[in-house]
Each structure stands twice: as C-alpha cells, then as structure tokens.
C-alpha cells in the first residue's frame, strides 16, 4: 500500500507534517495549520476572516499557540506549557501513514473547558492513536473562548468599529469550512464529517446543530457530557458586556450595573477595549465570572454562545423542541459519576440546593429530594441538573428530527473506583483517544486494569468510528425514542438498558415540561 507524502497542497498553500515515532508510529500529523487570519488588533471580536495564502511550504510540526487563558491550563508536561496568544486560530490533522483506496471518514473535535479554558495542545487530545487504530482522519480545532470568544459586544458596533457576536462559535464553523475545502488533500471524505466534543465541546456540538450557518458542514454529531443549558440570553449578554467594559474602564469597580448608570457610548467602548492588553482583558474576564455568580441571573456563566436571534436563533433545547435542529444523526450521553470531578477539584457546578431553585411545586421538590437521599447523591443531583437531565431532554426532542443514540459511560479503571471518583466527567476521553497506552494514561491502566482499559478503548473507538463511517454506532445499539428510551451502558462489558434512572428522569421532566404536554404524551 502506498505511503502518504508529508507535504500536502491546500487551497491556502502547501503544508509539511511529521511522521509519528515510537507509540505514534504509523501516523502523520500536521500541527498548527492556520485556518483563519489572526484575530488581533481591531479584529478582536470579529468573525474569523480568510487566512492570507502563504508562499512555499509551511512547516506544521507543532501546535499553534493556545487561546488566551491562565497559564496553568496550558500544561503539556511537567513544567512545560504551551505559549498563549490571541493569534490562536490553528488546527491539527492526524492521519494514518498509508494512503487509502477510498476517502476516509473525518472526525473533527472541539475541546471542553467551560468556554473559559482549553486548547488542542492538551495531551489527551492527541488524535494519532484514534486515527491509526481505526483508519480515520482526526482534526482538532482551536477556538476563542472567555471574553475573546463569547463576550457579545455587538450592541456597541459602529460603522468605524464592528463587534460580532458568537465569535468562538464562528471559529468552530470556520474550522468546519476549512475541512470542507481541504480535507480531501489528506485523503478525507468531506461528505462523511463527524463533529464531536466533550463538556463545553459537547455543548458546542448541540449549538452547532442549532446554528443555520453550520448546515451542510457535517453529517454526524457526537456530544459527550454536554451542559445543554450552557448558553447566554441576549438580555444577560447585554448585562455582562456592560459590566465588562465598566470593569475595564475602572478595575477598582465594586458594584454591578445599576439602572441609574449612564449608557456607555459606543465610541468609548471601542477605545477602552481596543486599548487594553490581552492579559488585562483576561484578568477582567475572571472578575466578570465572580460578578456573574453573585448577580443571580438566569445564566450564571457569562461566557457561552449567545442567543442573538440571528447567528444563533434559539437555544439548543428550544431548537430541538421545535424541530429546528439540523437533521443529523447524533450520539449523545453522559458519564455515570459526572459530578465527582467538580465536587473534588473544580467547584463551578451549582450545589444541590441551587439545583432545586426554580422547582416551585413542593410535591415535585419533595419527590426529587427523596430520589437523592444520600450525601453523594447530592453531588449527583447537581450533576444531573446540569448535565444529564437537559441531555436526556435534548435527546428526546432531537430523536424526532434525526436518529439519536444515547449512552451512559459507566467504565472506570480500578484506581478511580477505589478512590470513589469512578466514571467521572471527561474520563471517557481516555478511551476515545486511546490514551490508556500513552504515558499520561498508562498508570491508570497498569494499576489492575490493563485488560479492561484495552477492551473499553476498543469499544469506544469502534462505536465512535463506525458511526463516523455509517451513521450508526453498532448493530447492537438501538436508536433512542421517547416511547422506549433504550440507552447503551458503555462498560466492560456494555449492555442496553431501558430508561435507566427512569424515576429521576420523570421527576425532572415534571419540572421542565408543562403538565398538559405530559398528559398528552401519555395518551
């Protein structure tokens, strides 16, 4: 079989990649390919613009800079961090070394990080193992986040200074457009593109399914552990933008926006934000996170896609309910112990009491409290309210538009089970990307779980890539429908269960779905 050349001619210019060595032997990677012009200077808060073609051959041997964030979150190894820059719109392609007779399926990954951190250089997102073991093309895409990607300043636009909404979401779509233009040069099939992501990346997949501009750019979707309600209303986006600019102008500011405050002048806004360094904008963004938590708004996170009525017309849940999501086959699911990561290491989820805010019916509230009786159940209640319940709701809606496959990921290696962390948030990524055989994951496998980690990796990669090829994950995995609610429990071994945790699902459904609709559904 012919061997691929490391030099590939793209629409924008030629790129040279590197052949993998050691455990990555049998692959080629092209890293740090620019897919849009640098969003710097007055292109801050602009939709991504076409990259300037380059002469000659661009060496794409290492990842591009990470988006602007705290240095801690850019670690690549002990004491080694990825450089950070606003000039971050690059992507990476991982492919098998050999050429294929027919075009290979393409899997495009969006990372997680609550829309405030992340980057493709994070070691767990190395696409080499998945590409080689399952004969697919893997693409990982950098996108802007935090104030640089999801602060909506569009109300302050003037003819002289434009601010676009949802630029982080537009980055993802620009990455998918690049795939349509160029993936054939790597042996990929532009008609079989699967977009997948985890956590905020999984939420982004649901948002892409709800974004008209994404029509035709992908043919399958996989959403891993999304928080479907991680979204910002236009009204709250205006509050966050106003407070952010006032904080930039006066970093000592101690109070939030008041009705008596004078409206901001758009010309002043442009002068203030354009004259501020990226480091300072990041610092102010961190202060805005604190403001959002204290402001008691319906959207507690200020940085997420904004329902602006134009680029993003509806929330993903509303779009799915109304039949307006793209008719794309979708895998969607959560991890059994989703909340343990946050309870132990990253306190950003609402606690159990906050999860019940808005449950006005005392009977339903009591029912939910009885369904989560133990101390650890309080962690699960919080995670269910944030991740699982809205995910199941989205799946039920979207299943009426396109085939939908629901999973619960139950597998955990022995060491994570022993600590009580279990199958927590993001642990399925170790299996999807084949990281249990990489130095960063091998310790978990070697501690009594060598065989089971090999089997769960095969299970996850087989389901994910067969779905990328055929649009169905497995003959043994039935589609989800609201009349039977069959869910694949991904474990060692896997099994199909009808409506797992059905009592909890039904109780949450009574919170969010009008009683008249529930009565009609039971007829």
Q: How many CB atoms lie within 10 A of CB 202?
A: 27
Q: Which of these is catalytic: 46, 398, 425, 494? A: 425
Q: Which of these is catalytic: 199, 219, 399, 449? A: 199
Q: How many CB atoms lie within 10 A of CB 184?
A: 13
* DSSP codes of every residue in 100-133: -SSPEEEEEEE--STTTS--TTSGGG--HHHHHH
How far apart are alpha carbons 301 and 231 in whole angstroms? 8
Q: How many CB atoms lie within 10 A of CB 311?
A: 20
| Helix intervals (H) in 111-199 | 128-134, 146-150, 167-182
Q: Which of these is catalytic: 338, 340, 367, 389? A: 338
pLDDT tens digits for 281-293? 999 999 999 999 8
**Contacting residues for 458 by C-beta, under 8 A, at least 6 apart:** none
What predicted TM-score, i.e. pTM, was given to this entire model? 0.95
Looking at residues 504-512, what average pLDDT do you find? 91
pLDDT tens digits for 434-462? 999 998 899 999 999 999 999 999 999 99
**How buried is residue 440: exposed, middle or buried, by Cβ count under 10 Å (0-12/13-18/19+)?**
middle
Percent over 70 (pLDDT), the chain: 96
425 catalytically annotated? yes
How far apart are alpha carbons 194 and 385 in whole angstroms? 28
pLDDT of residue 519: 38
> Pick the residue with more confidence: 514 or 80?
80
**Contacting residues for 517 by C-beta, under 8 A, at least 6 apart:** none
pLDDT at 255 > cutoff 70: no
Helix %, strand %, coil % for the chain, to 5?
40, 15, 45
**Contacting residues for 58 by C-beta, under 8 A, at least 6 apart:** 13, 14, 15, 16, 33
Tokens describing residue 363: 């009977």
512 catalytically annotated? no
**Contacting residues for 24 by C-beta, under 8 A, at least 6 apart:** 126, 128, 129, 132
């Amino acid at each position: 079989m012919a061997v691929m050349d490391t030099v590939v001619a793209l629409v924008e210019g030629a790129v040279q990649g590197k052949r993998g060595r050691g455990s990555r032997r049998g692959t080629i990677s092209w890293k740090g390919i620019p897919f849009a012009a640098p969003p710097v200077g007055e292109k801050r808060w602009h939709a991504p613009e076409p990259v300037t073609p380059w002469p000659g051959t661009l060496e794409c041997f290492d990842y591009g800079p990470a988006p602007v964030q705290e240095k801690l979150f850019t670690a690549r190894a002990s004491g080694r961090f990825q450089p950070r820059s606003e000039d971050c719109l690059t992507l990476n392609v991982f492919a098998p070394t050999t050429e294929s007779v027919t075009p290979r399926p393409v899997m495009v990954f969006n990372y997680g990080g609550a829309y405030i951190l992340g980057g493709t250089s994070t070691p767990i997102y190395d696409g080499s193992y998945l590409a080689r073991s399952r004969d697919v093309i893997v693409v990982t895409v950098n996108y802007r986040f935090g104030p640089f990607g999801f602060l909506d300043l569009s109300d302050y636009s003037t003819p002289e200074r434009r601010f676009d909404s949802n630029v982080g979401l537009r980055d993802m779509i620009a990455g998918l457009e690049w795939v349509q233009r160029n993936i054939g040069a790597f042996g990929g099939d532009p008609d079989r593109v699967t977009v997948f992501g985890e956590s905020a990346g999984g939420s982004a997949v649901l948002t892409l399914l709800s974004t008209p501009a994404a029509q035709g750019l992908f043919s399958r979707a996989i959403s891993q552990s999304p928080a479907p309600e991680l979204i910002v209303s236009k009204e709250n986006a205006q509050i966050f933008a106003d407070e952010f600019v006032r904080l930039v102008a006066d970093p000592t500011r101690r109070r939030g926006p008041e009705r008596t405050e004078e409206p901001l002048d758009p010309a002043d806004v442009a002068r203030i934000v354009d004259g501020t360094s990226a480091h300072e904008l990041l610092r102010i963004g961190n202060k805005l996170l604190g403001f959002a938590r204290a402001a008691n708004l319906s959207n507690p996170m200020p940085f997420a896609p904004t329902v602006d009525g134009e680029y993003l017309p509806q929330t993903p849940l509303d779009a799915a309910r109304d039949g307006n999501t793209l008719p794309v086959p979708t895998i969607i699911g959560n991890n059994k112990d989703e909340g343990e990561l946050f309870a132990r290491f990253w306190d950003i989820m609402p606690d159990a009491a906050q999860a019940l805010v808005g449950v006005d019916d005392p009977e339903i509230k009591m029912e939910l409290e009885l369904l989560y009786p133990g101390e650890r159940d309080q962690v699960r209640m919080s995670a269910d309210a944030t991740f699982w319940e809205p995910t199941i709701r989205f799946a039920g809606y979207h299943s009426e538009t396109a085939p939908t496959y629901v999973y619960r990921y139950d597998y955990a290696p022995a060491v994570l089970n022993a600590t009580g962390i279990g199958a927590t948030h993001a642990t399925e990524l170790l299996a999807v990307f084949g990281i249990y055989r990489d130095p960063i994951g091998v310790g978990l496998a070697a501690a009594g779980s060598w065989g089971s980690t090999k089997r769960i990796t095969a299970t996850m990669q087989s389901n994910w890539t067969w779905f990328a090829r055929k649009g169905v994950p497995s003959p043994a995995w039935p589609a989800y429908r609201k009349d039977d609610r069959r869910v694949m429990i991904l474990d060692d071994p896997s099994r199909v269960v009808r409506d797992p945790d059905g009592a909890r699902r039904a109780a949450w459904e009574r919170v969010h779905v009008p009683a008249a609709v529930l009565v009609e559904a039971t007829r």
